[in-house]
Amino acid sequence: MKNIQWIFLFFAVAAAASIIGIGIFIAEQSLAGIIICIILLFAIMGTGFKLKRKRREEGRL
C-alpha cells in the first residue's frame, strides 16, 4: 500500500469545497461569491497540477 500524499489530498478537498461553494452561491444568487469560488477553483486546480508535474519530473511521484 502506498503512502498518502497529504498535499494532494488537501488540494482535492479544497477544490471540492470550492465547487460546493459555487453551488451554495448559485442558490444564494450571489454573483460575487460565484466568481470568487470559480477563481479559487482554477487557482487550486492549477497549483495542484503544477505540483504534480514538478514531482513527476523529479521522480518523486
Q: What is the pLDDT along the chain (61 residues), one digit of tens a residue?
A: 578 899 999 999 999 999 999 999 999 999 999 999 999 999 999 999 999 999 999 988 7
What pLDDT does 1 receive? 55
Output the pTM of the full model.
Answer: 0.85
Q: How far is 57 from 40, CA to CA, in rounded Å?
A: 26
The residue with cell 500500500 is 1
Cα distances from 14 to residues 23, 44, 59, in angstroms, run 14, 7, 25
Q: How far is 51 from 61, CA to CA, in rounded Å?
A: 10
